[in-house]
Structure 1
Amino acid sequence: MSIAEEQGTTTKGTLYGVGVGPGDPELITLKALRVIRDVPVLAWPAPLEGESMARTIAADHLDGHHKEIPIRMPMEVARFPAQQVYDTAAVEIAAELDKGHDVAVLCEGDPFFYGSFMYLFGRIAEDYPVQVVPGVSSLMATAAAIGSPLASRNDVMTVMPGPIEEDLLERRLTQVESAAIIKVGRHLPKIRRVIERLDLMNEARYISHATMENQVVSSLSEVDLEKAPYFSMILVHKRGEAWK
């Protein structure tokens, strides 16, 4: 029993946002691994049905001692009911923190690079200590997988979500030397139309499931999919290679 418990008081637990990388379990950082092993409570995002990718990445390092909090939500852009899911998860996590239990939220890639952890952070950070453990993001993983640097020298690089409007995607792509288009999914046909109009098909590379066993790397011109997987990205460099 701790001194705080003997005195009838409880120190609030710490919330950790832990990046577990893009898919390869060996890309979990040493710090992330230490936190995962030390905390008594794990929370992880997941679709309404099926496995959590974040938990799957960390699974080999789990020994069964954790209490686990699944955060299941529809994988869609709509704010509701996802926001209600975050509200409920924040309450459940806060209850553990109030007991003095540290909680680690497992995050695919990096917690603050388009990560859902930010929504828990916004609900919890004002009342509890929070630490963010950076992770290898999908952006870095895709560049390594295709064997091509993202940008160099004075290149302007932009990250663009696939769901944005077609005309906006085209305007932004005309203004940069390098771009990463994420969240491709069902937006692949639209993205291909834009890249074709800008005559950049030869400079565009497609990758899905970076660092995973089912990783696919291809030039965009060779991709024959009307709908790309959720874990896919398109990298474009107008010079073809950043070092040119």
Structure 2
Amino acid sequence: MGKVICVGLGPGDPELMSVRADRLVRSAAHVAYFRKAGRAGQARQIVNGMIGAGVKEYPMEYPVTTEIHFSDPEYNRLLAEFYEDWAKKLASLAATETVVVLCEGDPFFYGSFMHLHSRLQGRAEVEVVPGITGMSGCWTATGVPITWGDDVLTVLMATLPEDELAARAREADALVVMKIGRNLPKLRRALATAGRLGAAWIVERGTMEGQRVQRLSEADEVTPYFSIVVVHGQGRRP
């Protein structure tokens, strides 16, 4: 009997992987990873030089990324079929072999593997190895603690409606915003409305080669996919 092991690789720097993750990747005979069609895949790039010769690789290429808006029923249908198909393939492989699935960040923190995890229940034994989240790598890159004292940390998706982003940002002590991409102009406006734009930082490719940390108010209008905005908490006062 084999099993499916999803390994959290951390925020991007291979040296920030756990000892356990490193050991599992280096000893794997079967490795699967998500990627956009025609791309190497971020998770696969993190482990360059760690996968041995003769290892069987399984690139899981998304059928759609930004070509269709995520609110379109067709988007959900295509992704549901994609995840179901790969759940079947991994379960079949895990009947006799152990396959390591690579996941940047932490698999259970907005990771694509969650969609496989739910579909693999009852089909295969599954193990998940946690990893340092991308947001942790990014707020550390700013050199300032993200929270103080009794600060409450709020994590938002920039895909939310602008008015909701503004309302939640206004009430937040410390703030992290993910899934930015083409939503950057909307996020700027929302943070400005909430009075938080001046305190916001954007970290591009945190912990990775080409990392850039700057004030969001001074950043370009276009940002890489691997970008996170942080607003540091100031510590709750009575």
Q: Normalising by structure 1, what TM-score? A: 0.89
Are positions 1:233 and 2:228 aligned together?
A: yes
Deviation at 1:237, TM superposition (A): 2.7
2:224 & 2:168 partners in 1: Cα distance?
24
Deviation at 1:64, TM superposition (A): 1.9
2:230 partner SS: strand
* Cα offsets for 1:194-232 (capped at 9, x unmatched): 11122222210011100111111100111121x322111
Contact in 2 for aligned 1:200/1:238 (Cα 8 Å): no
1:66 to 32, 46, 55: 55
Counterpart code for 2:15: E
1:154 & 1:166 partners in 2: Cα distance?
27
2:48 partner SS: helix
Q: Look at both structures and tell me which one has the larger radius of gyration over its CA atoms.
A: 1
Are positions 1:36 and 2:25 aligned together?
A: yes
Question: Aligned residues, how many?
Answer: 229
1:127 to 116, 123, 128: 123
1:81 partner SS: helix
Deviation at 1:125, TM superposition (A): 2.5
2:167 partner SS: helix
1:1-244 paired onto structure 2 within 5 Å: 11=1, 13-73=2-62, 74-76=64-66, 77=70, 78-98=75-95, 100-225=96-221, 227-237=222-232, 239=234
1:149 & 1:51 partners in 2: Cα distance?
33
Q: CA RMSD in A?
A: 1.6
- Give structure 2 stretches of 5+ with no counterpart: none
Of 69-78 and 145-154, more deviation after overlay is shown by 69-78
1:188 & 1:113 partners in 2: Cα distance?
21
Q: Normalising by structure 2, what TM-score? A: 0.91
- Runs of 4 or more consecutive aligned structure 1 residues displaced over 2 Å after TM superposition: 74-78
Of 210-219 and 230-239, more deviation after overlay is shown by 230-239
1:146 & 1:75 partners in 2: Cα distance?
29
1:60 partner SS: coil
2:236 & 2:20 partners in 1: Cα distance?
33
* Cα offsets for 1:71-108 (capped at 9, x unmatched): 0012243323122111111121112111x200111001
Contact in 2 for aligned 1:39/1:101 (Cα 8 Å): no
1:238 & 1:39 partners in 2: Cα distance?
41
Of 74-83 and 215-224, more deviation after overlay is shown by 74-83
